[in-house]
C-alpha cells in the first residue's frame, strides 16, 4: 500500500483535517463534521509540508476571500459507485448556485433509466469526504430548506454567503421535537 498522509489545518474558515495519498486529496473534513475522518487511513502519517496540502490551504484561503478558484490538483474521494456518481453531480453545481437533492436524483434517473431516491442522494451527499471542494453545501431541500450539511447549518449558510447565493427563499429547518 502507498503511504498515506494527513494534516490538521487552521484556516479563516475553521479547522480542517486533510488526507492524501501523496498525489491526490482523499479527504477534507471540518473539525467536528459528521463522518469526520471516516475514510482517513489509520496508518496515515502527519506531513505539514506536503505540496498538495499547501495547494489545498491556498485554495481554501482564496475561497474564503470570495474567489472561485479552480481546482488544479487531483481529488480522489473514497466511496461506492453510487456515491461517486452523486459527487460528480456536486462538482457540476456552479459556484454561487444551489441544486436540490430531488433534481440530482432526477438527473441520475435520466442517465440510469430507473428511479432514484432524493433520500439516497442525500445520504451520499452527507458522506462526501472532501468538503467544500466537492460542494455538498450547495445542495438544499426542494422547499428551500438548508438541511443536511455535515459541517452544520451555520457553516453551510456561511459558505453560501461567501459565494453570493441569494438566501431569500432558503431557510433553516426547525429542530424536530
User: How far apart (Å, rounded) are the C-alpha atoms in residues 31 and 151?
Assistant: 8
Of 136, 140, 150, 165, which one is the catalytic site residue?
136
Q: Return the DSSP state at 116.
A: -
Q: 3-state SS of 18-74?
A: EEECCCEEEEEEECCCCCCCCCCCCCCEECCCCHHHHHHHHHHHHHHCCCCCCCCCE
Confirm whether 85 is a catalytic residue. Answer: no
Enzyme catalytic residues: 136
Amino acid at each position: 500500500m502507498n503511504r498515506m498522509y494527513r494534516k490538521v489545518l487552521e484556516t479563516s474558515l475553521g479547522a480542517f483535517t486533510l488526507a492524501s495519498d501523496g498525489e491526490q486529496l482523499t479527504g477534507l473534513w471540518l473539525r467536528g463534521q459528521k463522518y469526520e475522518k471516516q475514510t482517513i487511513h489509520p496508518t496515515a502519517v502527519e506531513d505539514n509540508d506536503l505540496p498538495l496540502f499547501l495547494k489545498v490551504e491556498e485554495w481554501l484561503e482564496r475561497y474564503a476571500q470570495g474567489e472561485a478558484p479552480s481546482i488544479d490538483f487531483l481529488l480522489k474521494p473514497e466511496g461506492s459507485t453510487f456515491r461517486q456518481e452523486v459527487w460528480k453531480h456536486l462538482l457540476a453545481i456552479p459556484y454561487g448556485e444551489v441544486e436540490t437533492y430531488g433534481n440530482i436524483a432526477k438527473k441520475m434517473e435520466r442517465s440510469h433509466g430507473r428511479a432514484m431516491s432524493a433520500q439516497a442522494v442525500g445520504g451520499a451527499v452527507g458522506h462526501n469526504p472532501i468538503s467544500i471542494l466537492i460542494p455538498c453545501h450547495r445542495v438544499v431541500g426542494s422547499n428551500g430548506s438548508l438541511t443536511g450539511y455535515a459541517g452544520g447549518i451555520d457553516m453551510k449558510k456561511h459558505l453560501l454567503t461567501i459565494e453570493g447565493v441569494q438566501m431569500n427563499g432558503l431557510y433553516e429547518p426547525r429542530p424536530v421535537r
